[in-house]
Amino acid sequence: MNAALAAIAAVLALTLVKATPLIYAALGGVLSERSGVINIGLEGIMIAGAFTSVAVSGATGSPVAGALAGIAAGALLAAVLAFGATRLGVDQIVAGTGLNIAALAAAAFGIVLVYHQPGASREVPGFGRGGELTLIALAFATAVLLHIVLQRTPWGLHVRACGEDPSAAEAAGIDALRTRFIAVVTGGAIASLGGVYLSLAELDLYSDGMTAGRGFIALAAVIFGRWTPLGATGAALFFGFFSALQFALQRTGVPSELMQALPYAAAVVALAGFAGRVRAPAADGVPYVRH
Amino acid sequence: MTLRGFLRGRTFRDLAVVTVLVFGVGSVAMLLAHVSPIDGFGALFDGAFGTPEEFAETLVQTTNLLFPALGIAVAFRAGLFNIGAEGQLILGGFAAGWLGAAVPLPAFVALPMVLAAGALAGGIWGAIPGFLRARFAANEVIATLMLNVIAFLLATYLVNGPLALAGAGPSETPTLPHAAQLPDLLTGSRLTWAFVIALALALFLRWLLFRTIFGYELRAAGDAPEAAKRAGIDLGRTALVAMSISGAIAGLGGATIVSGELHRFNTGLSPGYGFIAIAVALVGSLDPLWIVAAAFAFGVLQSGGIAMQAEAGVPRDVVSLVTGLVIIALAGRRVVAARRTT
Amino acid sequence: MQAVDGVDLDLFPGEIHALVGENGAGKSTLAAIAYGAVRPDAGTVEAIGTVGLVHQHFKLIERLRVWENVLLNREPRRGLAIDVEAARERVRRLGEEYGLRVDPDAVVETLPVGIKQRVELLRELDREPAVLLLDEPTASLAPGEIASFFGTIAGLAGRGTAILVVTHKLAEVIAYADRVTVMRAGAVVAHHRTSDTTAAEIAREMVGGEVPALAARAEVAPRALFEARGLSAQAGSSLIVDASFALGAGEIVGVAGIEGNGQSALADALAGVAPFTGTMTLAGTPLRSDEGPAARIARGIHVIPQDRRSEALVLDWNVRDNAVLGRQRQIPFARYGEAAREIIERFDVRPPDSDAIVGMLSGGNQQKIVVGRALAGAPVLVVAYQPTRGIDIGAAILVQSRLIEARNAGAGVLLISFELDEIFACADRVLVLAQGRIAGEFSRDGIDRGRIGSLMAGNA
């Protein structure tokens, strides 16, 4: 009986660990999409956060410096997307896809440049237990904070207005392009913490492909969570649970690949069950062009 | 398109941007790797064109990119994002490799059946997000991304587990019987008739998209879904059919890699062709004939990139980096008219 | 051609000034310039005080609440957060002051069109504008509501606001405005005190000559063709309930009503885009709710949709490919060019070039293509939903004439329009649609404008 309880507790704890990077990425996605910009590049932003934080932590010896650098890198990548989406009116999904490919390649290139070996970096100073718990708590705190900002503050209202109808927002004197830009960059900063957590809190290094599509699962979490911070957090926990389950069931006879596929399959099923019936912000993904 | 129209148009401007990106960013990256751009690009182009064998290898890379790019273009034309070409390609390759090795087939049907199996597997894998989009208005971008990962895991599981065949290494199928192998175009190289098949497919698709009612309706669904719906075009069915065709073409590509190049299936058969093909489709303006040219350009980068790493010491990731930047740069072409899944 | 060319316009406090012109004459552009949304290439705009603009198509954010829309970007604050209670109170007081009461907490998309207009007005009034521009403000009002609307406006003028009403409704101009400026092709062509002129004179000035004549109506005895019984359907927020009516071959039945009273549901049910309950029978055979547009087209039901840009045309394609859209399976692929040329000729599409990109054509020519292809192929029933929306008078008369000719040739035409004048000019019978129900039916001889207006407003 105690063993069963211990096992359940372990799975729940692992759920939190697995969900945290998803929460950060999903919150970044929510903020971006509420303003009207679909950020497919969350995966690339997480990679940027993961790699940069490792490189800087290794160079400075401080994981906090690494984390800050990771946030900056994520914000920078998001700024590229934000610029394209707002000033140039580009196709957001195409741009996000390109961002992911470029970020993955840049990180791989970066590993060779910095560590003179392909595939993975060396171990760097990471966050210990305390730091890891802080990052987990911070994820939930960010979710609540984002909820309050969106619902209760003027800026949050402006963001929501831009996501629903940017031309109406502009008629009220809001600079829709600038609001979207800020929302996307801030979202990128939040999402990159997911990458920072993966590298500095879990493994203390960066390796090629370590994000493994989490940025995409986060997108499903955004939809599943109906584009709200609290909903997306719940969805992220749901997907994290499947990841944890896969880990826990490793010892059983179930083949590891099928278990690894669980979170992704769960996302696909969630899409089918949910997608058509919920409404994205009305102007989500639609470039706003001033006449 | 006339020559003058081409020079004035966006295509020319986009190609100019791409060229600047390739040489500009490429040079910066090379300098960071302590390699002079002259040496770097020299190694790249020498590796792509130097000898007939090297040129043949460039054509091999061209072929491998051409199949998924054509598939992606068909989906784009229907207003759909097929980011799942990689997964469709992998499963297509697996189906081909497994069928050819596991089932004794009469000699004259072995090759067609193996290729057909690849197309079928890819088509089914494309039909899944197509169905989700048609029936549930589910976002096919996320669905195809997820299915990519699932495809790789599924293929790995099957090839090592329940469908494992004797005489194969880990994550592989055994060598295909000779009858199931695509004949070489240039002996001593990896270039096979797959190249010819791809070219023929491009011609066929151009005809299909622009000279048939099927193509007319598919493009209408992509360019103006609401008007298309009211004109009697079934958007759900178009989504399903377009994604299936798209997947089938990518799957066929995987099958040709297995049947022609590798003579076996291996889970590592694609270094991301399905993603690079997105850039190829965009650079080719979603036009099958221009996509052939674009596939060749990227084929040069791919095969040259391998040589560049070996000879000049510049990591191949530079090629992927430039590819990603090209995709971002070409995102300005409003490729898909309608995004919302309603 | 300039959208606006060398225009001088003066607005005085306490005055209601009307700006009239055809579609495409430049009125809306001028209003946008006056508001400051569009920067002129030359010339100046000066205003003593704020300028407010109530748009023709409301700039309201549907999924937000009334107070969020009215006070967007001017939200009362408490610290870093919005003071929601103060916001609600402010909207309530504003509504009391101007006689435009609305529930501050209501979500805009749930509101009927007339109330939405109040929200739009309140948003501008909160800024206490010295100048108020109103773009086609009575488009969504029932005839009975128009008088009270202008009463509110006159009240505002009385308090010293300078009012500009951009409109094409000349009867209202004569009745309610003090002065009128007439625009044509981007320039001002005339200026009057409304007491010194007539609607007919203004119409001539708008067109630059005599208004072309409508096609003649032939003596046709309508035969039984189509019947709806207990028809109920929903398209988005548009609802039609328990509608029963008949439409004969060789007659035009006009559906009069204010926008938002079920017209879209009716049109979409006929088009096969919206499911329905009840029965619809065409030439004896019932229509099925799950059929879809392809089946309707095959049965000879052709629909001219309300919004040509998003519902009828592929703007990136050329004229030829657009001209066959809807009949792409009925015409052999090789004959598309021929079919397109027929439409170009019959409907005077300019430029008469099959390869021209439709997105580059004027609204009038785009609409000619849409109407042309709907009338091609000998349709049995034509549903014309706002067929002359946003096009110049010449194109409008041509479209209406072709509809009459189709009726003369034996087609049944259901003309759904928000313009009463259009309906009165073309229809053999008139149905009034109010709140999703058919409130009344009138024959051409028995048209009673007052009664129709009253029914449109929802009075029995």
- Report the pLDDT value the prediction gives residue A126, as an integer from 0 to 100: 85
Report the pLDDT value the prediction gives residue B2, as an integer from 0 to 100. 62
Q: Name the pLDDT band for B8 (thresholds 50, 70, 90).
A: low
Q: Can you give the pLDDT at residue B336?
A: 54
Q: Which residue has the tokens 């009338």?
A: C375
Residue C65, pLDDT score: 95
Looking at the structure of chain A, the number of domains it has is: 1
Q: What is the DSSP string of C135-194?
A: ESTTTTS-HHHHHHHHHHHHHHHHTT-EEEEEES-HHHHHHH-SEEEEEETTEEEEEEEG
Rounded mean pLDDT, A59-72: 93
What is the DSSP pairing of strand C81-82 with strand C179-184? unpaired
Residue C227 has pLDDT above 90, yes or no: yes
Distance separating alpha carbons of residues C371 and C403, to the nearest angstrom:
9
Q: What whole-number distance in Å separates Cα of residue C206 and Cα of residue C197?
A: 13
Q: What is the pLDDT of residue B338?
A: 40
Question: What average pLDDT does range C340-347 have in this prediction?
Answer: 94
pLDDT recorded at residue A276: 56
> What stretches of chain B show up as alpha helix (H) in DSSP?
3-8, 10-32, 37-49, 52-77, 85-102, 107-136, 140-160, 194-211, 213-223, 225-230, 235-256, 273-283, 288-307, 317-330
Q: What is the mean pLDDT of residues A251-280?
A: 78
Closest CA to A280 of B339, B243, C72: B339
Q: How is chain B split into domains, by residue range?
A: 61-302
Residue C24 has pLDDT above 80, yes or no: no
Instruction: State how far the Cα of A270 lies from the Cα of A220, in Å rounded to an integer.
Output: 8
Cα–Cα dist B267/B97, whole Å:
11
Give the closest residue to C16 by CA, choosing from C153, C141, C151, C167: C153
C79 CB near a chain A CB, below 8 Å?
Answer: no
Contact C292 B234 (CB under 8 A): yes
Strand order in the sheet with C187-193: C51-54, C131-135, C162-167, C16-20, C179-184, C187-193
Contact B235, B221 (CB under 8 A): yes
Question: How far apart are the C-alpha atoms of A164 and A182, rounded to whole Å?
Answer: 16
H or E segment to which residue C17 belongs: strand C16-20
What's the burial of A148, exposed, middle or buried (CB within 10 Å: 0-12/13-18/19+)?
Answer: middle
Contacts of A250 (CB under 8 A, 6+ apart): A256, A259
Alpha-carbon gap, residue B292 to B280, rounded angstroms: 9
- Give yes or no for A176 touching C (CB within 8 A): no
C292 Cβ under 8 Å from any chain B Cβ: yes
C40: cis peptide before it, omega within 30°? no
What lies within 8 Å, CB to CB, of B158 at 6+ separation is: B94, B98
The rounded percent of chain A whose pLDDT value lies above 90 is 58
- Cβ–Cβ under 8 Å, residues B122 and B94: no
What span, in angstroms and rounded, lies between the C-alpha atoms of C145 and C457?
A: 7
- Check whether A211 has a pLDDT greater than 80: yes
Q: Give the β-pairing of C77-78 and C131-135.
A: unpaired
Q: How far apart are CA B128 and CA B126, in angstroms?
A: 5
Number of other CB atoms surrounding residue B50 within 10 Å: 14
Interface subset of B 72-111, CB within 8 angstroms of A:
81, 83
The model carries a pTM of 0.88
List chain B residues with CB under 8 Å of A118: 315
Q: Which residue has the higher pLDDT, A143 or B166?
A: A143
Do the Cβ atoms of B132 and A272 come within 8 Å?
A: yes
Q: What's the longest Cα–Cα distance across chain B? A: 60
Summarize pLDDT for A13-30 with one digit per residue, the tens. 999 999 999 999 999 999
The owner of tokens 């929501």 is A160
Q: What is the number of CB-based contacts under 8 A between chain B and chain C? A: 58
Q: Tell me what the mean pLDDT of segment B168-186 comes to.
A: 89
Q: How far is CA B307 from the centre of its chain?
A: 22
- Residue B193: how many CB atoms within 10 A of its CB? 17
Is A174 in Cβ contact with C61 (below 8 Å)?
A: no
pLDDT at C134 over 90: yes
Is B232–C292 a contact, with Cβ atoms under 8 angstroms apart?
A: yes
Task: Choose among C38, C61, C81: nearest Cβ to A168.
Answer: C61
Q: Which two tokens stand for residue C305?
A: 């949709």
pLDDT in tens, C281-325: 999 999 999 999 999 999 999 999 999 998 999 999 999 999 999
Q: Calculate the average pLDDT of chain C.
A: 90
pLDDT at A72 over 60: yes
Gap between the Cα atoms of B284 and B296, Å rounded: 11
**Rounded Cα–Cα distance for residues C136 and C56 (Å):** 5
- The answer to whether residue A1 sits within a structural domain is no
Answer yes or no: is pLDDT of A282 > 60: yes
Interface subset of A 137-166, CB within 8 angstroms of C: 152-154, 157-158, 160-161, 164-165
Q: b/e per residue, C265-274, with b = 16+ CB within 10 A?
A: bbbbbbbbbb
| Cβ atoms C175, C3 nearer than 8 A | no
B17 touches chain A (CB under 8 A): no
- State yes or no: pLDDT of C452 exceeds 50: yes
What is the pLDDT, as a whole number, of residue A258?
84
- Among chain B residues, the shortest Cα distance to A110 is held by B317
Q: Give which of B332, B309, B74, B92 is closest to B210, Cα–Cα.
A: B74
Lowest mean pLDDT among A142-151, B12-21, C283-292: B12-21
Nearest alpha-carbon partner for A265 in B157, B335, C262: B157
A93 to chain C, closest Cα gap in Å: 21
Q: Could you read off the pLDDT of C32-77 as tens digits, one per residue?
A: 888 887 788 888 888 888 888 888 888 899 999 999 999 999 999 9
Mean per-residue pLDDT, B21-37: 88
Give dist(CA C117, CA C385) in Å, integer. 23
C441: part of which helix (H) or strand (E)? strand C437-443
CA angle (C138, C143, C149) in 5-degree steps: 50
B337 touches chain A (CB under 8 A): no
Specify whether the CB–CB gap between B142 and A271 falls below 8 A: yes
CB contact (8 A) between residue A172 and residue C75: no
* A-chain residues near B140 (CB < 8 A): none
End-to-end alpha-carbon separation of chain C, Å?
49
- The two beta strands, C187-193 and C301-304, are unpaired
User: In this predicted structure, what is the pLDDT of residue A151?
Assistant: 94
Backbone angles phi, psi at C241, to 5 degrees: -130, 120
**Could you say which of A152, A172, A282 has the minimum Cβ distance to residue C73?**
A172
Q: Which residue of C has its CA nearest to B233?
A: C294
DSSP notation for C223-275: EEEEEEEEEEEEETTEEEEEEEEEEEET-EEEEE--TTSSHHHHHHHHHTSS-
For residue B305, give the nearest of B320, B295, B319, B293 by alpha carbon: B319
Closest alpha carbon to B91 in B239, B240, B252, B277: B252
- Would A111 be classed as within a structural domain? yes
Cβ(A87)–Cβ(A177) below 8 Å:
yes
Token pair recorded at residue C342: 């027929």
Complex-level ipTM? 0.88
In-domain check, residue A4: no
3-state secondary structure (DSSP) of residue C34: helix
Question: Which residues in chain C touch residue A282, judged by CB atoms under 8 angstroms apart?
Answer: 62-63
- Exposure of C19 by Cβ count < 10 A (0-12 exposed, 13-18 middle, 19+ buried)? buried
Say if residue C201's pLDDT is above 60: yes
The two structure tokens encoding residue C431: 């149905």
Q: What is the mean pLDDT of chain A?
A: 90
Phi and psi angles of residue B322, each rounded to the nearest 5 degrees, phi first = -65, -40
Q: Give the CATH number, domain containing residue A19.
A: 1.10.3470.10
pLDDT: which is higher, C356 or B316:
C356
pLDDT at C3: 75
Give residue B337's pLDDT: 45
pLDDT band per the 50, 70, 90 thresholds, residue B55: very high
**Cβ–Cβ contact B149 with A under 8 A:** yes
| Chain C residues with beta carbon closer than 8 angstroms to that of A158 | 72-73
Is A278 inside any structural domain? no
Domain that holds residue A21: 12-271
- Name the nearest CA neighbour of B283 among B220, B247, B332: B332
In C116-175, the residues whose Cβ lies within 8 Å of chain A are 123
| Torsion angle defined by CA atoms of residues B215, B220, B221 and B226, in that order, rounded to the nearest 10 degrees | -160
Which among B115-124, C132-141, C197-206, C415-424 has the top mean pLDDT? B115-124
Asked if B332 is an interface residue toward chain A (Cβ–Cβ < 8 A), one would say yes
Is C64 close to A160, i.e. CB distance below 8 A? yes
* pLDDT attached to residue B339: 41
B214 pLDDT higher than 80 = yes
Q: What is the mean pLDDT of residues C92-121?
A: 88
pLDDT given at position B277: 95
Per-residue pLDDT for A273 more than 60? yes
pLDDT band at B340 (very low <50, low <70, confident <90, very high): very low
Put simply, whether B164 touches A (Cβ < 8 Å) is no
Q: CA-CA distance, B257 to A254, in Å (whole number)?
A: 31
CA distance C307 to chain B (A): 10
Q: What is the pLDDT of residue B239?
A: 95
pLDDT of the residue at B9 = 66
